[in-house]
Amino acid sequence: MRILGIDPGYGTTGFGLVDAQRGSNRLLRCGVITTPPGADFSARLEMIYEDMRKLLELAQPEAVAIEELFFGHNVTTAIGVAQSRGVILLAIQQAGLSVFSYKPMQVKQAVVGYGNATKHQVQDMTKRLLQLTELPKPDDAADAIAIALCHARSSTSLLAGLQNK
């Protein structure tokens, strides 16, 4: 299964494309979609939407996994990220793809085996699971890869199989 993981943001949106076969995962591509900080916010959302449409067309994923928002202390940033996530979800919907949302703690649990794992632990385990020589950069791309791996592990679990029956 070809899974596109997405770590939404309005300045930087990470993506990671993983080929997940039973017990074996391979990184196909990763990177970021960026928008210029000085641009009008509406224009930034349009850039994210258009770049996401192009990415979906090029990547041809079978499923898309995206991180759910975590509202920390900065509500203003969270609102902007939520709007970015909205245009990303629109692009995915228009492409006719299945989308799966995961909370940060679910991603950590699936990748590391511990829901309170640190960012470094998630990145290190991502590197190990994909047998990479170095950590994917930038961090947003690495996070997106972890989200794709989370879906790969969640979608092939025994529980997922039972829910489909």
Q: Spell out the domains of the chain, with CATH numbers in brackets.
A: 2-163 (3.30.420.10)
> Once rounded to an integer, what is the mean pLDDT over residues 125-138?
91
Q: Is 140 an annotated catalytic residue?
A: yes
110, two tokens: 């699936």
The one catalytic residue in 46, 67, 68, 124 is 67
pLDDT at position 157, please? 54
Which band of pLDDT confidence, cut at 50, 70 and 90, is reported for residue 71? low
Nearest-5° Cα angle at 125, 124 to 128: 90
Residue 76 has which token pair? 């203003």
Whether 7 is catalytic is yes
73's enclosing H/E stretch is none
CA-wise closest residue to 149 among 158, 157, 137, 138: 157
Residue with tokens 């994909």: 130
Q: Which of 7, 40, 46, 139 is catalytic?
A: 7
Q: What predicted TM-score, i.e. pTM, was given to this entire model?
A: 0.90
The most confident of 1-5, 65-69, 109-113, by mean pLDDT = 1-5
Instruction: Match 């449409």 to its residue by tokens.
Output: 53
